[in-house]
DNA sequence: GCGCTGACGCGAT
DNA sequence: CATCGCGCCAGCG
């Protein structure tokens, strides 16, 4: 019904804050946990829009394990540094993360959101 | 109101 | 593995 979900940003923030120290999540995974499978881009936008400094946004990476920011950019370096501080190991500019064990294609296509 | 853009994802090449 | 291309969706000219 109401597709506006004014608390979307808040939800994303909550999910991100819940990421344990030294661990990471992909944008897509965050979107899923926030109740909107497939909305990875909106997660990115939410993070970019958020002015919350305490938000561990750096624990959110792309599905391929690379930071979503422009390589060598200011924020990019910050992200790598903070991750390193938490013991997250990066290899060739990307974090080793296990790719999601492809669930049923059906579910992927229908992607019902659970509010 | 329309079209471009982007802190994405994934199969195909 | 590294790249490319296309699909998605909401925010913003």
Cβ of A93 < 7 Å from strand C? no
Per-residue pLDDT of chain A (115 residues; tens, 9 = 90+): 554 556 899 999 999 999 999 999 999 999 999 999 999 999 999 999 988 889 999 999 999 999 999 998 999 999 999 999 999 999 999 999 887 776 666 666 665 555 5
DSSP per residue, chain A: -----TTHHHHHHHHHHTSPTT--EEHHHHHHHTT-TT-HHHHHHHHHH---TTS-GGGEE-TTSS-SSPTTSHHHHHHHHHHHHTT--EETTEE--PPP----HHHHHH-----
Report the distance from CA of residue A36 to the C1' of nucleotide C11 in Å, as an integer: 17
Q: Which nt is closest to the CA of A38, judged by C1'?
A: C8
Closest residue to C2 (CA to C1') is A64
Determine the pLDDT at residue A82: 96
Cβ of A109 < 7 Å from strand C? no
Closest residue to B9 (CA to C1') is A63
pTM over 0.75, yes/no: yes
């Amino acid at each position: 019904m109401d597709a506006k979900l004014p608390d979307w940003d808040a939800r994303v923030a909550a999910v991100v804050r819940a990421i344990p120290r030294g661990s990471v999540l992909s944008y897509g995974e965050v979107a899923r946990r926030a109740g909107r499978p497939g909305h990875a881009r909106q997660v990115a936008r939410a993070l970019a829009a958020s002015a919350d400094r305490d938000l561990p946004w750096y624990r959110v990476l792309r599905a391929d394990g690379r930071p979503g920011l422009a390589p060598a950019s200011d924020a990019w370096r910050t992200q790598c540094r903070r991750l390193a501080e938490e013991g997250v190991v990066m290899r060739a500019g990307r974090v080793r993360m296990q790719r999601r064990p492809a669930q049923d294609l059906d579910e992927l296509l229908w992607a019902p959101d659970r509010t």
